[in-house]
Amino acid sequence: MNLYGKHLICTQDWSLEELDAALELAMRMKKHRYSERYADVLRYRTFFMFFYNPSVRTRQSFEAAATELGGHAQFLEPKSMRLKTATTAGETVEDAARVMSRYAAGIGIRMLEDKVTRYGEGDELLREYAKWATVPIVSMAHDRFHPCQGLADMMGIKEHLGENVKRKKILITWGHGALARSLCSVQEAMLISSRYGMDVTVAHPEGYDLDPEVMDWTKKNCEENGAKFELTHDAHAGYDGAHVVYSRNWMSPKAYRDGVLQKQEEIDKALKLTDWICDGERMAKTENALFTHPMPIDRGREVTDEVASGPRSIIYDVAENRLHVQKAVMALTMGQL
């Protein structure tokens, strides 16, 4: 299998064998973190990181990943480069992508909910970059997907539940909060867990529907694996029998009006739904489930401290795994192994 030059915009775009290759290499890289065998994989190569939005994990982990592979990750703020965005005029995507491809071994892009005028626009922009770039485009989280987070989630789940996670149940539940999150992490978690044959239960209040196409892909992934897919609008349902609980806030489909994200309105609406919280009482109904979250966490709203910092929480393992999966993705798609 040759992944050299392949874009990563959503895990659903990669075959299971390709995802396996990335996860297996990430596991090896975690085990042999500072081994000489990976020290020159990106030697002399630069990974450009276009951050339209801020980040803690993504920027630090990509920079560390490039360093550990002997390369360099260069932080770029597109707003200071006269690049075209979803909301402003500037250099075309074609020109930017083709020129940047002459310098970099790969290009990462982060474009979240407040940098687009409607849901899906960020995904379109990344795919436009992918059309013109001659090096891999990697989503560093955009309005629709967050593939590196999905890979890190799956790596953490496999580390704790074992390699075969088929028919293990994951509950992906909405949580109230003051941050009005994009759908990208949650949708990626649905896709990758169903690709690996997990039973998927999605729980959210009425009015917080996820992308219908992503729902269909998830159901199809489940069907193909003989796994169950369930949807509930009950904040307490779904915990029974769960092996993994993933709680996260996300915005409603009404978040955009007249091309503008109504962020405060979304926050005000979400904060009223206080019953939507992952707490110890609900976790007690599970099969001693792992708790995970892509972070940053809105503690006390999406999840209690007791659960987030409890013995079954794998949030820091998953956060660490961002480094290892990104090293693996860069090595496979833009490095010399």
| Contact set with ligand CP (CB under 6 A) | 55-58, 141, 149, 294-296
Give the number of other CB atoms < 10 A from CB of residue 41.
Answer: 22
The distance of closest approach from Cβ of residue 248 to ligand CP in the complex, given in angstroms and rounded to an integer, is 10
DSSP 80: G
CB closer to ligand CP, 57 vs 243:
57
CB closer to ligand CP, 11 vs 286:
11
Give the Cα separation of 263 and 251 in Å (integer): 9
The distance of closest approach from Cβ of residue 214 to ligand CP in the complex, given in angstroms and rounded to an integer, is 18
CB closer to ligand CP, 58 vs 194:
58
DSSP 133: -
Number of H helices, E strands in the chain: 11, 11
CA atoms within 13 A on the CB side of 240: 5
The distance of closest approach from Cβ of residue 293 to ligand CP in the complex, given in angstroms and rounded to an integer, is 9
For residue 77 the two structure tokens come to 């703020």
Q: Is 320 helix (H, G, I), strand (E, B) or coil?
A: helix
Dihedral (CA of 136, 130, 263, 303) sign: negative
Contact 22, 151 (CB under 8 A): yes
Measuring CA to CA, how many Å separate 115 from each of 78, 86, 307?
12, 7, 32
Q: Is 11 helix (H, G, I), strand (E, B) or coil?
A: helix
CB closer to ligand CP, 141 vs 172:
141
Where helices occur in 32-120 by DSSP H, the ranges are: 57-68, 93-103
The distance of closest approach from Cβ of residue 65 to ligand CP in the complex, given in angstroms and rounded to an integer, is 13
Phi, psi of 179 (to 5 degrees): -115, -10
DSSP 183: S
The distance of closest approach from Cβ of residue 182 to ligand CP in the complex, given in angstroms and rounded to an integer, is 10
Give the Cα separation of 168 and 227 in Å (integer): 9
CB closer to ligand CP, 135 vs 151:
151
CB closer to ligand CP, 57 vs 169:
57
CB closer to ligand CP, 8 vs 227:
8
CB closer to ligand CP, 55 vs 225:
55
The distance of closest approach from Cβ of residue 224 to ligand CP in the complex, given in angstroms and rounded to an integer, is 28
The distance of closest approach from Cβ of residue 59 to ligand CP in the complex, given in angstroms and rounded to an integer, is 7
The distance of closest approach from Cβ of residue 55 to ligand CP in the complex, given in angstroms and rounded to an integer, is 3
